[in-house]
Amino acid sequence: MSKPKEPQKSSVKPYPEWHEGLPTGPQFGILSKLNGTWVNWKGGPTGLHTTIMPSPGTSSETIFGVFHFKSQEYREQLKFTQVNAPVRNRAGSNEQFNAAVKYETAIVDNDDALQHFENGMYLWLGDNQMPWDPKSPYQNPPNLFSHPSSVESVKTDGAEPVLGPGQLGPQFVPPYSISRSGVIPHGTTIHLTGGIAQTDTSGQAPNIAPLWNPPSLAVSPTMGINVSTDLIAGSREKPAWTKLPREDQNLDDPDPGNRGVNSGRAYIEQVFNYDRFGARFPYTVQPNLKLTDANVGLKFKKFDLIQLDSRHDTGIQGATVNNVMIERYCRVVRMQFRMWLEQIVDEESGKVIDQLQYEQIVDFEFMFGSNGGTTQWPHIQVNTLRREQDIPPAKRLPPIRLPTEAEPEVKGGPEAVVYSMKHAKD
């Protein structure tokens, strides 16, 4: 008679057990590298956005191709503030303690006119490993704990007869380690999730994107772009067709419905020929080339890539929530975000300093597409920033201040007090 097999041990083991006094402090993970104010500087690279909007006089039913395109260089002031108080989420068998990093950004154009402001929060949700590893830089101190039932909880919460003391349900392993929520004053609230996509210590600059990489372009296939025929492979040279008037576009196409002003080239040529506010080809077509160009000649020590998205192939999704006008006339349906946290050798001082680069792609939807479906219009932002404290005073630009209402002045009374969170059992 064969010996019965031992039951297989579960690989999902409990986290350290929670008790009052834990955790000893917040775990920020890679978000600990953000704290501070990041800015552009004199003589340095600038940010750039591409924005496609409904044209004056159009409506949701207007034929494809009538749109207003705008692109601008900009400078930014992006401030991150760590909140040194872990925020407790109770989930029965698990306790999760989020660490919050507030952010606020303000953007002005080359004429110092305010173009955008936004605030929100990054959260470190926990290293999605199991079990807790005391040697992990992103798990010590831990922010995920197990919490079995106790004699007291069974009695207080009326758990009998289903649950007895000392019992523990399945352990939660976070599918994402980072979330970002933000409020955009145009009327959209965002929630993105993701994590660390890459860590590189080879000393190489990050590979931002190949030339004419379709997901990075400010023109989408629904706008009529054909990357293989409308762009010159391996070259930043502007294609010859961009010099033709709209009525002469694509005249050799065998499909009469795709010639002249009806061709995709006629509709998108304004993106290729745009030359205002410091924005021009090739950056109006592939904005992240500005990031690649900003890194030319720099000596890199390492970099980390954070990648977040409001949409995932499977599992829990993020969100883009719009107010009524935005939802009806220019829906924001998806937001993708990549942020590179880099260590470079400063060109002048020779010191190792931090650099932050990002690419943000927001998909708008309005009007009919070239195939009869809804058109997808990418709104893209890219920028290269450094900590203000690492920029020599002579190269610093004036701080950006929003035109907010002044707070009423209050005189007298007690001084402000810093309050810490206490996560008691009840």
Which tokens is 6 given?
A: 């031992």
Asked, for residue 332, whether it belongs to a domain, the answer is yes
Q: Which pTM was predicted?
A: 0.94
Q: What angle do CA 256, 261, 262 make, to 5 degrees?
A: 45
Q: Are 107 and 71 in contact (CB under 8 A)?
A: no
Query: With the C-alpha atoms ordered 384, 389, 390, 396, is the resulting torsion angle positive or negative?
Result: positive
Q: What angle do CA 350, 355, 356 make, to 5 degrees?
A: 175
User: For residue 166, how many other CB atoms are within 10 A of its CB?
Assistant: 10
Q: Locate tokens 């154009």: which residue?
A: 109
Q: Are 413 and 78 in contact (CB under 8 A)?
A: no
Asked, for residue 348, whether it belongs to a domain, the answer is yes
Q: Locate tokens 């349900």: which residue?
A: 169
Distance (Å, whole) CA 287 – CA 78: 19
Asked, for residue 421, whether it belongs to a domain, the answer is no
Torsion (CA) 288, 289, 295, 301 in degrees, nearest 10: 50
Asked, for residue 2, whether it belongs to a domain, the answer is no
pLDDT beneath 70: ranges in the chain: 1-2, 7-12, 63-65, 368-372, 424-426
* Alpha helices per DSSP H over 117-251: 151-156, 227-230
Q: Which domain holds residue 335?
A: 38-90+98-125+176-208+288-395
Asked, for residue 158, whether it belongs to a domain, the answer is no
User: For residue 320, how many other CB atoms are within 10 A of its CB?
Assistant: 21
Which tokens is 391 given?
A: 């920029």
Asked, for residue 112, whether it belongs to a domain, the answer is yes
Q: pLDDT tens, 352-403?
A: 999 999 999 999 998 866 566 788 899 999 999 999 999 999 999 999 999 9
User: What CATH number is attached to the domain comprising 191?
Assistant: 2.40.128.20
Q: What is the pLDDT of residue 9?
A: 67
**How many structural domains compose the chain?**
1
DSSP at 219:
S
Query: Measuring CA to CA, which residue among 279, 274, 278, 264 is closest to residue 231?
Result: 264
Distance (Å, whole) CA 123 – CA 215: 26
Q: Locate tokens 């019965």: which residue?
A: 4
Asked, for residue 265, whether it belongs to a domain, the answer is no
Q: Locate tokens 């008790």: which residue?
A: 19
Distance (Å, whole) CA 310 – CA 159: 38
Q: What is the pLDDT of residue 130?
A: 74
Cis peptide before 141 (omega within 30 of 0): yes
Q: Which amino acid is at 85?
A: A
Q: State the average pLDDT for the chain.
A: 92
Measured in whole angstroms, the distance separating CA 376 from the mean position of its chain's CA atoms is: 19
Distance (Å, whole) CA 41 – CA 3: 73
Asked, for residue 28, whether it belongs to a domain, the answer is no
Query: Measuring CA to CA, which residue among 402, 397, 400 is closest to residue 40?
Result: 397
**Phi, psi (deg, nearest 5) at residue 253:** -70, 130
